[in-house]
Amino acid sequence: MKATLLHGPKDIRVGEVPDPTLRESTDAIVRVTHACICGSDLWPYRGVGLDGDGPAEPQRIGHEFLGVVEETGSDVNSPQRGEVVVSPFTFSDGNCEFCDDGLHTSCVNGGMWGSDGVDGGQGEAVRVPQAEGTLVRLPGGSDEALSASLLTLSDVFSTGHHAAVSASVKRGSTVVVVGDGAVGLSGVLASARLGADRIVIMGRHTPRTDLARRFGATDVVPERGAEGIERVRELTGGHGAPHVLECVGTDDSLATAVGVVRDGGAIGRVGAPTYASIPQSAEAFFRNVTISGGVAPARNYIPELLPDVLEGRLQPGLVFDKAVGLDDVADGYRAMHEREALKVLVRP
């Protein structure tokens, strides 16, 4: 079958790989119908975290997918063959002590797609370990018109929701979202869903901030650095906002989050960090700022978010502004890297 392979920095190719087969009784084989490129996929694409010229062997990549169950192991009772499913961006058994606490990303039997011999999601099919604990069945199958939004449950919308939850967003909140990428926009939508009254997005790309307003943003701050912090403080009575979502993952973006948060407030950081230590930690300490968040336990959130998507109340799939076939996935990476696209849908 065909799958996306990372050969080195800015070297993405589609190649032939062995068809997936059941290895354990807890496995399932899923034929992928929809996948996508994540902002975090761009880090290895740009060479971040790669040794030398790249991996010793071409590396499978991709961690977000919808598909149809083709085969299941003997210990998988649900989902069943022929059912449409969404997969979170990590797999988990669903019954360890961490899964019981809603922290599926720390599952003792879990792991990441595309690593340690596990298939990546950007391919024609995937072997899913711990299938019963991982996959979420989509009632009534997948309506094509909903597929893009359902796919966001795999990662980006769940991650935006995690940022909002980690920042303690609730009804009546004033929120600042740092970053106008797909995660930041999802954080706007998640904050609006949780009842925030005022949502300020910090971003300078007009098509993105226009979508942010559609998702519920009330204010847009295009300025960056000290100027941006000053502008946010002007909008929030001089003291900053009690709830801040950091959705980029750079030291500058987290420093901005610390700069715009109100004393005693909370920052939900979900941008995959490219920094070695938290900037301005002393300032955050003396201002009693809570810095929370991390990798989103999407499997825990999908059942909560799914009804709003299925019933059409929310359309997080609007973050996709480009679609490619699997053979053209390299162009999708290029487009996101060069900011020609916000988020790219891949149809194997």
pLDDT, one tens digit per residue, over 88-100 is 999 999 999 999 9
Assigned CATH class of 2-155+297-346: alpha beta
Decide: 150 and 53 in contact? Cβ < 8 Å. no
CA neighbours closer than 13 Å in the CB half-sphere of residue 238: 0
Inform me whether the pLDDT recorded for 277 exceeds 80.
yes
Task: Give pLDDT tens digits for 12-25.
Answer: 999 999 999 999 99
Task: Give pLDDT tens digits for 161-173.
Answer: 999 999 999 999 9
Question: How does residue 52 score in pLDDT terms, banded at 50, 70 and 90?
Answer: low
Task: Give pLDDT tens digits for 303-323.
Answer: 999 999 999 999 999 999 999
Inform me whether the pLDDT recorded for 294 exceeds 70.
yes
Decide: 122 and 67 in contact? Cβ < 8 Å. no
Question: How does residue 232 score in pLDDT terms, banded at 50, 70 and 90?
Answer: very high
Whole-model pTM? 0.96
Inform me whether the pLDDT recorded for 141 exceeds 70.
no
Q: Comparing C-alpha atoms, which of 230, 235, 216, 228 is closest to residue 178?
A: 228
Task: Give pLDDT tens digits for 237-252.
Answer: 999 999 999 999 999 9
Give domain 157-293's CATH number out of 3.40.50.720, 3.40.980.10, 1.10.1040.10, 3.40.640.10.
3.40.50.720
Inform me whether the pLDDT recorded for 9 exceeds 80.
yes
CA angle in degrees (0–180, nearest 5) for 299-169-314? 60
In this predicted structure, what is the pLDDT of residue 188? 98
User: Burial, 164: exposed, middle or buried (Cβ in 10 Å; 0-12, 13-18, 19+)?
Assistant: buried
Which one-letter DSSP state was computed for residue 106? G
- C-alpha–C-alpha distance, residues 224 and 216, integer Å: 21
- C-alpha–C-alpha distance, residues 283 and 279, integer Å: 9
Q: Where in the chain is the domain with CATH 3.90.180.10?
A: 2-155+297-346
- According to DSSP, the residues that pair with 12 across neighbouring strands are 6
- C-alpha–C-alpha distance, residues 81 and 29, integer Å: 9
Q: Where in the chain is the domain with CATH 3.40.50.720?
A: 157-293
